[in-house]
Amino acid sequence: MVRKKIAVFASGFGSNLQALIDFNTDGDLGGDIVLVFSNDLEAFALKRAKKHSIRAESIDPSGFANRQDFELEMLKILKEEKIDLIILAGYMFLLTPLIIDAYKNKILNIHPTLLPSFKGTHGIKDAFKFGVKVSGVTVHFVDAELDNGPIIMQAPVFISQDDTLEKFEKEIHKVEHKIYPQAVKLFCEDKLKINGRKVEILPE
């Protein structure tokens, strides 16, 4: 099987990026992270990439007349690197149909709740404040709608009554770092088959 070339898009801290890098050091994702892209020149994720000799690119969207022009620049880099899979890991800038269509069913995202509950940027806090007893993490394909595409994997995180938001947040991230590499590996091994909203995981 040909190894996939992976680009990770991240806007901030990049702990999920780190989990993916570590997974590929200790084991095998079935692909290689060859590019880390950010819309934020200061993103710590870019430093993580450089530390691991991964190409780190950032483009400031404010220098473009519109999002399409910005994404055309991104597409040039993605084509240069012959990217097969885009992984969103805390990428806080909405993709337009330009990239979504160019990489149809080849973009994954991780969301820190059990979708379709608590979509949006503050999922962890929203779930905690709502008082749910179970929340969790979702890895899904990306489509044109926010936090909406077919679900690949979910894992629960239980909230007990003496949990603080900080403790709950830590637990969510721990679970993210565990399941994102697993989902990426399944993609890289061509084991994910999309049937409408459902994602089938093919056997060995």
Q: Annotated active-site positions, please?
A: 111
* Minimum CB distance to ligand GRF smaller for 140 or for 185: 140
The site that binds ligand GRF (CB under 6 A) totals a number of residues, namely 12
CB of 204 to ligand GRF, least distance (A): 29
Distance separating alpha carbons of residues 190 and 22, to the nearest angstrom: 21
CB of 88 to ligand GRF, least distance (A): 7
Region class of 83: left (phi > 0), else alpha (psi between -120 and 50), else beta = beta
Under rule CB under 6 A, residue 90 binds ligand GRF: yes
* Minimum CB distance to ligand GRF smaller for 38 or for 103: 38
Q: b/e for 48-62, b at 16 or more Cβ within 10 A?
A: bbeebebebbbbeee
* Minimum CB distance to ligand GRF smaller for 3 or for 178: 178
Q: Tokens 């993490």 map to which residue?
A: 137
What character string, x for contact with ligand GRF (CB under 6 A) and - otherwise, covers 93-122?
A: -----------------xxx----------
- Which string of DSSP letters, residue by residue, matches 96-143? PHHHHHHTTT-EEEEESS-TTSS-STTHHHHHHHHT-SEEEEEEEE--
> Of the candidates 6, 7, 10, 179, which one interacts with ligand GRF according to CB under 6 A?
10
Residues 120 to 179 in contact with ligand GRF, rule: CB under 6 A: 176
Consecutive H or E run containing 27: none
* Minimum CB distance to ligand GRF smaller for 12 or for 150: 12
Residues 171 to 200 in contact with ligand GRF, rule: CB under 6 A: 176
Question: In the 8-state DSSP scheme, what is residue 83?
Answer: -
* Minimum CB distance to ligand GRF smaller for 30 or for 123: 123
Residue 86, CB-side half-sphere exposure with 13 Å CA sphere:
25
CB of 89 to ligand GRF, least distance (A): 5
Helix runs in the chain, H state only: 15-26, 44-51, 67-80, 97-102, 123-130, 165-188
Binding site for ligand GRF (CB under 6 A): 10, 12-16, 89-90, 110-112, 176
